[in-house]
């Protein structure tokens, strides 16, 4: 089964989520893709990213 793919927005208000995903128990359970909101939204629409 493929890992869920998550978009990682580099904004200060997203830092708690980013830290939890990269340092917590989920880090090996998901694939994290950094990008701007516009880039990540395009990936979600195209089906290349599960969540942003």
Tell me the per-residue pLDDT of 17-51, one tens digit each, with 9 for 90 and over: 888 888 888 778 889 999 999 999 999 999 999 99
Q: What is the mean pLDDT of residues 8-20?
A: 89
Q: Would 42 be classed as within a structural domain?
A: yes
User: Is 39 part of a structural domain of the chain?
Assistant: yes
Q: Is residue 36 part of a domain?
A: yes
37 within some domain: yes
Q: State the residue range of the domain holding 13.
A: 5-46
Residue 51 belongs to some domain of the structure: no
Number of domains comprising the chain: 1
Tokens representing 18 are 């980013």
Rounded to the nearest 10 degrees, how much is the dihedral formed by the CA atoms of 40, 19, 10, 47?
Answer: 0
* pTM score: 0.77
Q: How far apart are alpha carbons 5 and 2 in whole angstroms?
A: 9
Residue 52 lies in a domain: no
Q: Which pLDDT value is given to residue 49? A: 96
């Amino acid at each position: 089964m493929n890992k869920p793919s998550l978009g990682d927005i580099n904004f200060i208000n997203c830092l708690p989520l980013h830290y939890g995903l990269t340092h917590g128990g989920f880090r090996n359970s998901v694939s994290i893709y950094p990008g701007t909101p516009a880039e990540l939204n395009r990936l979600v629409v195209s089906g290349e990213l599960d969540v942003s």
